[in-house]
Amino acid sequence: MEKILARKVVEAVKSLYNVDIEESLVQISDTRKDFTGDYTLVVFPLLRFSKKSPELTAGDIGGYLRENCADVREYNVIKGFLNIVISSAWWYSFFKDMASQKELFARAVAAKPGTIMVEYSSPNTNKPLHLGHIRNNLLGYSLCKILEACGHKVIKTNIVNDRGIHICKSMLAWQKKGNGETPESSGMKGDHLVGKYYVVFEQELKLQVAELKEKGLSEEEARNEAPLMKEAREMLLKWEAGDRETIELWKTMNSWVYAGFDETYRLLGVEFDKIYYESETYMFGKDIVLDALKNNILYQKEDSSIWVDLTEEGLDNKLLLRSDGTAVYMTQDIGTAVLRHQEYGFDKCIYVVGNEQNYHFQVLKSVLQKIGYPWSEGLHHFSYGMVELPEGKMKSREGTVVDADDLIAEMKDSAKKVSLELGKLTGFSGEEKEDLYDKLGLGALKYFILKVDPKKNMLFNPAESIDFNGNTGPFIQYTYARIKSVFRKAETEGIDNDIELPSVLDIGDKEISLIKLLGRFPATISEASETLSPALVANYCYDLAKEYNQFYHDMSILGEPDVNVRAFRLKLSGYTASVLKAGVGLLGMEMPERM
């Protein structure tokens, strides 16, 4: 309809003012809810052609549209804005056409679908996944689903940071304090066990640092000179040198962590097409750095460390290899990026990483461009805000993080408690109840996190997220289950919900409001894909659920005596359920068939 109106406005300007204008000058948008109308034309860009006031120009064009466009029912003018009301007949026809299409995402497909790689999760093998990782995983996975819905070929990747000083800290602490403890002997998940020793290391290091500070050293000097830190650095050198005993311990402890990660990923419902390991890519990165040094693209300091000068790019000098030859994160990221492009030839590579790494990815892109990889222009840092709790920020070193597994279990328990309190489980078997708790708990968690603009920091409140009213996942899930219950009741009462709709039917404003919102689904998915914002999809689903509940409250469905109207309202309800399910599916949420 926007396109039809735009063409008609061009006709109106020609007819009224004898001027040919480009269609791009015509600005049409949805009418704000506090005004009467379906679409609004901004007339200010047209005043130079009309030579009249905004109100008179809007009146001229509104009158022309009403006389020359059968679908325009009426119009009203508010200052320089022309609000246009479309006939119910057009909206009814629009719905019939929309509902007849089998593919919900067909109108959302990008003009030029490409190959897009999305990296998310990126855990370290020295600790379990926590709340921050949950936001990362949910954002990354949802981005993949949205991009796929728009026709892109998406490769879901994960880079596991399985080497480095932080990994050696857990290994060293286990060597000194572990007494041979394993996941089996302790009854702990492997990632939790290894994380426990990372905290032990930091606790022991803190004591050594305090002693050295008493002798006059600064905080930084004390950490560098602490015996435990020196031992960790020695272990890293042994690892890079291929020391058999060190490598065996590393493999053993990493295997514990991987088993733990896999279980958490399963619970979260996320997956990957390809997992890269820093231990396998950093050497490739070192080779690229050394070649670039030979070609005088990089420079070497007297201590043998290798650097890149990015001052001309508005950045600074960046270390790529330490003086002892060990690699830094940037080295690994260079190697991984090149390997990925060799393997997949992506058009775009999206890194889902928190905003504290903004500078890192500016440097990565600039280094790759400087070395001579033009495809690096397609690298994009999806920078998202941090997750905080009511009591403040989390700290891995101090063991004050919110563990992902614990949070998932807590969300399921909360869903169970709320469901029991509301008495929504009549007729459910034990297995059905557990399935419902899973869907509600994870739905609450995923929606609460994804409804927030990813660029913003967010405060996570588990109790608020599980509420069955308000802007929550369970509210949307309940709306879907409500629609399904309507169809079950229709079947029980012998009402045929699949009869062919008449060619013409008079429908009301509540129905039109719902149709208008359903019609925005493809555009919402397209915008979410272009702006990389799952929040747009999440909030659309909430708006749709809210609109349907208003329709459900105000309009009779099964009790409607007119067979055609009843059939239409059933189809409208069914289509709403399909859009809600597809929409939250892009967020990784599942819908319960009944609640």
Check the CA dihedral 141-146-148-153 and report its sign.
negative
Q: What is the pLDDT of residue 518?
A: 97
| pLDDT reported for residue 555 | 94
Q: Among 32-46, 140-154, 347-361, 398-412, whose mean pLDDT is lowest? A: 398-412
- Look at residue 554 and tell me whether its pLDDT is greater than 50: yes
Residue 579 CB contacts under 8 Å (≥ 6 apart), including other chains = 104, 518, 521, 544
Residue scoring higher pLDDT (423 or 306): 306
Q: How far apart are CA 593 and CA 483, in angstroms?
A: 9
Would the pLDDT of 7 be above 50? Answer: yes
- The stretch 135-147 carries a mean pLDDT of 97
What does the pLDDT look like over 309-320, one tens digit per residue?
999 999 999 999
CA distance 393 to 206: 20
Read off the pLDDT of residues 49-106 as tens digits, 9 standing for 90 and up.
999 999 999 999 999 999 999 999 999 999 889 999 999 999 999 999 999 888 888 7
H or E element in which residue 580 lies? helix 563-585
pTM greater than the 0.95 cutoff = no
Does residue 477 carry a pLDDT above 50?
A: yes
Give rounded-to-5 percent helix, strand, coil for the chain. 60, 10, 30
If pLDDT is split at 50, 70 and 90, which confidence band does 324 have? confident
- Rounded distance, CA 368 to CA 417, Å? 52
Average pLDDT taken over every residue of the chain = 93
Residue 240: predicted pLDDT: 86
pLDDT of residue 468: 76
Using one digit for the tens of pLDDT, what is the confidence trace for 378-390? 999 999 998 877 6
For residue 404, give the nearest of 265, 259, 517, 566 by alpha carbon: 265
| For the chain, percent of residues with pLDDT exceeding 70 | 98
- Helix H or strand E encompassing 317: strand 317-321
Q: Is the pLDDT of residue 399 over 50?
A: no
Instruction: Specify the range with the lowest mean pLDDT, choosing from 39-43, 175-179, 320-324.
Output: 320-324
Looking at residues 11-26, what average pLDDT do you find? 94
Domains and CATH numbers, the chain: 2-86 (3.30.1360.70), 120-388 (3.40.50.620), 410-585 (1.10.730.10)
- What pLDDT is recorded for position 463? 75
The model's confidence at residue 398, banded by pLDDT at 50, 70 and 90, is very low
Q: What is the pLDDT of residue 348?
A: 97
> What pLDDT does residue 107 have?
82
Which band of pLDDT confidence, cut at 50, 70 and 90, is reported for residue 400? low
Confidence class for position 391, pLDDT limits 50, 70, 90 = low
Give the pLDDT band (50/70/90) at residue 155: very high
Burial 476-492 (b: 16+ CB within 10 A, else e): bbbbbbbbbebbeebee
With contact defined as beta carbons under 8 Å apart, do 37 and 17 qualify?
no
pLDDT 10s digits, 189-219: 999 999 999 999 999 999 999 999 999 999 9
Give CA–CA dist 586/447, Å, rounded: 11
